[in-house]
Structure 1
């Protein structure tokens, strides 16, 4: 088996070695009694993230069928663990006197700050300076992107956060309740985005979280639905993954975006995990 190579100060991981490590970690994750935050859970997912952000030339589309099935299972496990982690931290923060002052306690907070900064820059370069209304689909119990965007980048924007889980929205509302400005500019709606129609036409910009639509078919169905109802000239920002990071999140390809004008595709090489795909609905 090939061994890791050093390139420009970083460890370059050959595909077969990377897959062997990931298969081993996924087997250990599958043997856990629960994916709630704990030392074993945190350790395994930390190892996984470190592996998947190493430089690699892996093309996940060309993986054997058994590895593809393992990857799909792993993405679902990552999504479940991420949801439970957010739930635990949001529950903890809402019990503090000033929750918004302690967001940095969340383990991946700096990652969200970097991702939001990157996304804002991409939006700015596309001409989306200060949108009036933004939707975030799949906001969860810790709507960090919306909070960071509203606080640091889009200081007059109104945010509508959609999630299918009412308990997640209850926690998210409690999280921002002590902040008068955010409380005025943020709404949380419990629904399946496939049931939202005309309202989608009211947004200048829509964010689609990486874990909304876990399978390719489901994701494409959601993209088609959003495109049908969003306004002409509106911007859609879709989070995707590239290379080994696609063991953590689903991939969106240009072929999945028919009917949209692709403005930008950005694949990070630092510790930010999500790729950013920016598209626009043409004005007919």
Structure 2
């Protein structure tokens, strides 16, 4: 396994070698007793992220079945580890006197700020200016996108954060409740988004987190469900991945969004891992 020092130069390694290294890391992760943050867990996932972040010509659709299956397993493992990392930090923040002032201690806080800046710019360029009501699907224990958006960009918008995990929502509520103004603008709803119907018609903009719908089939089902019930003319912002980053997150492609008007597709090349796809439900 390459050292973390070498990982910075791995944009130049051949696809076959990159895939072999990813498979090696996946095998190591599968042997872990727990995915909770620890020196070993953090080291493996840091290495994986550095390996997969540089621009890559890998097209996941062309990979052999064995690699496809490994990738599906790896995305699930990444999702679990990410959730546990967020929960640990969010639980710590919730116990501090001013949680919202400490969020920059989270290791990936800077990435969330950059992603929120990017998403706000894309929304603004496409005429979505200060939407009245926004839904974030898959907000987790530390709803950083909603918080950063509400604080820096959408300063009068109301956010409904949907997550399937009540424990995650409980911690998120504690973080936000430290600020009375924030608490007024931010709600947390525990449910499976597939059970939410007419309420989806209330939102001008809906964000779909990268790890909601980890398999292709589930992701497409969720997108179709949201489209059915969201308001005509409303926008859906979907997070995706490109190249080797698709070993970390599910990919959403244009043909998964045929019933929408495609407004923007952006693939970052910096440390922001997620691609951003913005679509609009047609008015008729």
With structure 2 as the length reference, what TM-score do the two structures score? 0.96
Secondary structure (helix, strand or coil) at the match of 2:237 reads strand
Whether 1:91 and 2:88 are equivalent positions in the alignment is: no
Aligned counterparts of 2:46 and 2:203: Cα–Cα separation in 1: 36
Deviations 1:216-264 (A, max 9, x none): 1111110000000001100000000000000000000011112111111
For residue 232 of structure 1, what is the aligned residue in structure 2?
Answer: 232
User: Which residue number in structure 2 is paired with residue 190 of structure 1?
Assistant: 190
Look up the match of 2:48: 48
2:21 aligned counterpart, secondary structure? helix
Contact in 1 for aligned 2:137/2:206 (Cα 8 Å): yes
Contact 1:12 1:55 in 2 (8 A): no
Report which stretch shifted further, 83-92 or 54-63: 54-63
How many angstroms apart in 2 are the aligned matches of 1:152 and 1:196? 28
Runs of 5+ unmatched residues, structure 1: 1-8
Q: Unaligned 5+ residue runs, structure 2?
A: 1-8
C-alpha distance after superposition, 1:120-168 (max 9, x if no partner): 0000000001000000000000000000000000000000000001111
What value does the CA root-mean-square deviation take over the aligned residues?
0.9
1:126 corresponds in structure 2 to 126
**Preserved CA contact (<8 Å) 1:10 1:55:** no
Q: TM-score, with normalisation over the residues of structure 1?
A: 0.96
Q: 2:222 & 2:55 partners in 1: Cα distance?
A: 31
Distance 1:63 1:121 in 2: 34
Kindly report structure 1 stretches of 4+ aligned residues shifted beyond 6 Å: none
2-side partners of 1:222 and 1:192: how far apart?
A: 10
The 5 A counterparts of 1:151-162 are 151-162=151-162
Q: How many positions carry a matched residue from both structures?
A: 276
- Residue of structure 1 in register with 2:144 after alignment: 144
